[in-house]
Structure 1
Amino acid sequence: MNRMTTQEVKEYMENNKNTSLIDVRETEEVKAGKIPGAVNIPLGLLEFRLQDIDKSKEHILVCRSGNRSGMAANILESRGYKVINMDGGMLDWDGPTE
């Protein structure tokens, strides 16, 4: 599984505008703030929402600390998706939120 720190994700997103962000936290957690442009698909619903995830794109997975997004990365990677896990999650994120 590919991994990036929050700082690496910020830099990567600046240079790769087509990269998708998927926040796998629960809806209530996301209400406190998410990375602009991130799509919320809670981990428990991920397998039911595969049709909503573009297989031709690369996806950065985000959660609170990096654990759930790591599980999500394993699920998606095993189904042929290109994914990157953001280590440290929103706890380490110091960029903009919405």
Structure 2
Amino acid sequence: MFHLFQKIPTISTQKLAERLNQSIVLLDVRTPSEYRGGHITQAINHPLNKIDSYQGKKKEVYVICQSGMRSKQAAKRLKQMGYEAINIQGGMNRWQGSTRGGK
């Protein structure tokens, strides 16, 4: 049965930092210019407006944006597409780890 208000699992940026040691898929759903301005090294840029075209091999996907709003929308859509999407609470605003600029 389809639930309109599906619960999206959420983790903190600290938990994300711990999980980056493993081989996880991290999608950054911000715009390409925001992404170039600074992103988590392992993050793959896949803007929210193109989320429907996402075709990842792994079922579990971590999703981040600037504040956590767009990533939540993207996570909901990914869940509808059959992925186990985990939203990163607070997004890049709360990220304490290192970032890199450029592509």
- TM-score relative to the length of structure 1: 0.89
Which stretches in structure 1 are left out of the alignment for 5+ residues? Answer: none
Q: Identity, % of aligned pairs?
A: 38
Q: Which of 2, 5, 18 matches 2:9?
A: 2
Equivalent residue number for residue 86 of structure 2? 84
Calculate the aligned-residue CA RMSD, in Å. Answer: 1.0
- The correspondence of residues 38-57 of structure 1 with structure 2, limited to 5 A, is 38-47=43-52, 49-51=53-55, 53-54=56-57, 56-57=58-59
Q: Which of 17, 37, 40 matches 2:42?
A: 37
Per the TM alignment, residue 83 of structure 1 is displaced from its structure 2 partner at its CA by 1.2
Which stretches in structure 2 are left out of the alignment for 5+ residues? Answer: 1-7
Whichever structure has more helix as a proportion of its residues is: 1
- The correspondence of residues 61-72 of structure 1 with structure 2, limited to 5 A, is 61-72=63-74
Cα distance in structure 2, aligned partners of 1:19 and 1:58: 8
Per the TM alignment, residue 73 of structure 1 is displaced from its structure 2 partner at its CA by 0.2
SS at match of 1:72: helix
For each residue in 1:24-61, what CA deviation from the matched residue of structure 2 results, as whole angstroms up to 9, or x when unmatched?
000111111000111000000111x223x22x341110
Q: Aligned AA for 1:93?
A: W
- TM-score relative to the length of structure 2: 0.85
Runs of 4+ in 1 over 3 A off after TM superposition: none
Query: How many residues are aligned here?
Result: 93
